[in-house]
Amino acid sequence: MARQARAIQTRESILLAAAAVFDERGYSSATITEILQRAGVTKGALYFHFASKEELALGVVAAQLDLGELPPQRTKLQELVDHGLLFAHRLLHDPLTRASMGLAMDQRRDAVEPAPPRGTPYQAWIDRIDQVLKDAEARGELLPHVVPGDTAELMAGAFTGIQGMSHVLCERADLTRRVIVLLQHILPSIAVPAVLPTLDLAPDRAERLLSARHDIRPEIEEPGGAPGVPAPRRTVAVAAR
Amino acid sequence: MARQARAIQTRESILLAAAAVFDERGYSSATITEILQRAGVTKGALYFHFASKEELALGVVAAQLDLGELPPQRTKLQELVDHGLLFAHRLLHDPLTRASMGLAMDQRRDAVEPAPPRGTPYQAWIDRIDQVLKDAEARGELLPHVVPGDTAELMAGAFTGIQGMSHVLCERADLTRRVIVLLQHILPSIAVPAVLPTLDLAPDRAERLLSARHDIRPEIEEPGGAPGVPAPRRTVAVAAR
């Protein structure tokens, strides 16, 4: 049991190190050697968990998707808003989220190197948004012409572009504001009018969600935190602040 | 005069070669050597026109911005639509546009290499959209709450992200459809209702614009075409098809 706990901790350290290196260097320039150094684990330990750089990338994306559930809200469209605002918050604070975004946006197509799994994060984000929109549709929150799949793809793509532009222009300092502007432009085209004034799009919404909920895992800034596995101490610490 | 014409042609060949290499390899991996080989010019000729790789990148962005004017329409919002649809068309056919987009999306931050001028294309696209929106506002086409600058930044960022996602998922095969979906979601939030049913968002709009107008320069697929300078023969050919 102690051995299993140690294996889980090793896997986490590797994923966080990989996320940090992918984020800083890009997938193509990242090396297993640097990830090993950063994680402070042996080559054997790394290859026990991940057979290749691509598996590391897929592990990072899976861990990002597994970051805390959102609390249910009175409308599914508020949950959609919350997804967007929390994702923006995580891009500012969580290396797993930044690394997943970096993979999606990686443009290098060198013949030498197998391409990063660029489509995987997009597809996962689209599926997640699509599900929330389908639930919203079932509850009568969407205007009748809305095609959830189209809107989900639009939101995944537009969000990615907006955060990329914010990254280039100001290191994401204005990201929350830009995501609110995106939501303010999209929501009136998809929501039944009565839902619109009930939606909370305030800039501090993500922080309020994180501090109010015990079961949302905190953002992880360094090895020792836990992507994809329970981290009870830190969760309590966040719940108490 | 013959010497001047040759200098212009050399400059064009260099810009198109640089655009192709930036598009294929990314800015950071592109080398002056490969651009020289592709353009078929001497090192001296290249450095006569462009002092550095960064100047080449800025030249590519400037040439992209200088690609054909759009014909005036009955509403400024139709011109906004036309900008978007034509930009999508050019991403499929024009290396200058693809290279400018690639510069904006370049994520590499290697210490060795000076960063590409990532912010330049974004700022230019934002300024252009902002001007069209301000004109639309002056003509009473916008809803009163719209802030042109916010909407312009949103559209530049969202467009960039949508084309990036389309690039990853299907080599931009569905780009036109995705841009139409973007416009369908944004326009109802910014346009006065009476303008909406007058807008032409058809998938073949860009091709119709290009074939109807004599003064829109054709998309350029190979050296010999002309970014930023008149190319009368090819223009006539396009107008006549």
Q: Summarize pLDDT for B55-67 with one digit per residue, the tens.
A: 999 999 999 988 8
**What pLDDT was estimated at residue A113?**
63
Chain A / chain B CB contacts < 8 angstroms: 127
**B148-205 per-position pLDDT tens digit:** 999 999 999 999 999 999 999 999 999 999 999 999 999 999 999 999 999 999 999 9
pLDDT at B119 over 90: no
Place of tokens 């598009």: B23
Q: Is the predicted pLDDT of residue B48 greater than 50, yes or no?
A: yes
pLDDT higher for B150 or B104?
B150
The beta-carbon neighbor of B161 closest among A26, A107, A159 is A159
Q: Over 60: is that where the pLDDT of A220 sits?
A: no
pLDDT at B226: 41
pLDDT band, residue B230 (cuts 50/70/90): very low
Q: Establish if A186 touches chain B: CB-CB under 8 angstroms.
A: yes
Q: Does A181 touch chain B (CB under 8 A)?
A: yes
pLDDT: is A34 or B106 the higher one?
A: A34
> What pTM does this model have?
0.84
Of B24, B119, B158, the CB nearest to A168: B119
Domain ranges of chain B: 2-63, 64-240
- pLDDT for the residue B150: 98
Is B118 an interface residue toward A (CB < 8 Å)? yes
Q: What is the pLDDT of residues A57-116, one digit of tens each?
A: 999 999 998 887 788 999 999 999 999 999 999 999 999 999 999 888 887 665 456 677
Q: Do residues B226 and B220 touch, judged by C-beta distance below 8 A?
A: yes
Confidence tier at B112 by pLDDT (50, 70, 90):
low
- Which of B102, B150, B157 is the closest to A165 by Cβ? B157
When the pLDDT of each residue in chain A is averaged and rounded to a whole number, the result is 86
Task: Tell how many helices (H) and how many strands (E) occur in chain B.
Answer: 11, 0
Question: How far B55 CA sits from the closest chain A CA (Å)?
Answer: 19
- pLDDT at residue B236 greater than cutoff 80: no
Report residue B1's pLDDT band, with 50, 70 and 90 as the boundaries.
Answer: low
Query: Inter-axis angle of helices A148-170 and A119-138, to 10 degrees?
Result: 130
How far is residue A8's CA from residue B212's CA, in Å, rounded to a whole number? Answer: 64
What percent of chain B has a predicted confidence (pLDDT) above 70? 84
Across the interface, do B24 and A109 touch by the CB < 8 Å criterion?
yes
Residue A230 in contact with partner chain B when CB distance is under 8 A = no
**pLDDT exceeds 50 at position A230:** no
pLDDT for res A118: 83
| pLDDT score of B234 | 31
CATH of domain A68-221+228-240: 1.10.357
Instruction: Of A25-39, A218-232, B210-224, give the lowest mean pLDDT range.
Output: A218-232
Lowest mean pLDDT among A31-45, B113-127, B171-185: B113-127
pLDDT, tens digit, for every residue of A142-179?
999 999 999 999 999 999 999 999 999 999 999 999 99
pLDDT top residue among B156 and A25: B156
pLDDT of residue B109: 61
A237 touches A218 (CB < 8 A): yes
| A165·B156 Cβ contact <8 A | yes
Q: Do A154 and B162 touch (CB under 8 A)?
A: yes
Instruction: State the complex-level ipTM.
Output: 0.83
Report yes or no: B188 at the A interface, CB cutoff 8 Å: yes
Indicate the CATH number of B2-63 among 1.25.40.10, 3.20.20.120, 3.20.20.150, 1.10.10.60: 1.10.10.60
Q: What's the pLDDT at B51? A: 93
Provide mean pLDDT across the span A26-55: 92
A182–B158: do the CB atoms touch at under 8 Å?
Answer: yes
DSSP string, chain A: -HHHHHHHHHHHHHHHHHHHHHHHH-TTT--HHHHHHHHT--HHHHHHH-SSHHHHHHHHHHHHHTS-PPPP-SSHHHHHHHHHHHHHHHHHH-HHHHHHHHHHH-----SSSPPP-THHHHHHHHHHHHHHHHHHHHTT-B-TT--HHHHHHHHHHHHHHHHHHHHHHHTTTTHHHHHHHHHHHHHHHHB-GGGGGG----TTHHHHHHHH-SSSPPP--SBTB-SSS--HHHHHHHHH-
Check if CATH label 1.10.260 holds for domain B64-240.
no
Of A161, A169, A188, the CB nearest to B161: A161
Tell me what pLDDT residue B224 has.
Answer: 41
Check A158 against B158: CB less than 8 A apart.
Answer: yes
Residues of B in contact with A103 (CB under 8 A): none
Average pLDDT, integer, range A194-208 = 97
User: In this complex, which of B107, B109, B182 lies closest to A105 when CB atoms are compared?
Assistant: B107
Half-sphere exposure of B35 (CA within 13 A, CB side): 33
Give the rounded distance of the alpha carbon of A28 from its chain centre: 20
Helix (H) or strand (E) holding B82: helix B76-93
Q: What is the DSSP string of B42-75?
A: -HHHHHHH-SSHHHHHHHHHHHHHTS-PPPP-SS
pLDDT of residue A73: 96
Q: Residue B122: pLDDT above 70? A: yes
| CB-based contact B188 A189, cutoff 8 Å | yes
Chain B residues near residue A20 by CB distance under 8 angstroms:
none
Tokens encoding A239? 């719940």
pLDDT for A69 equals: 77
pLDDT band with cut points at 50, 70 and 90 for residue B114? low
> What mean pLDDT is reported for chain B?
86
Query: What span, in angstroms and rounded, lies between the C-alpha atoms of A21 and A27?
Result: 8
Q: Which of A105, A123, A182 sits opposite B105 (nearest CB)?
A: A105
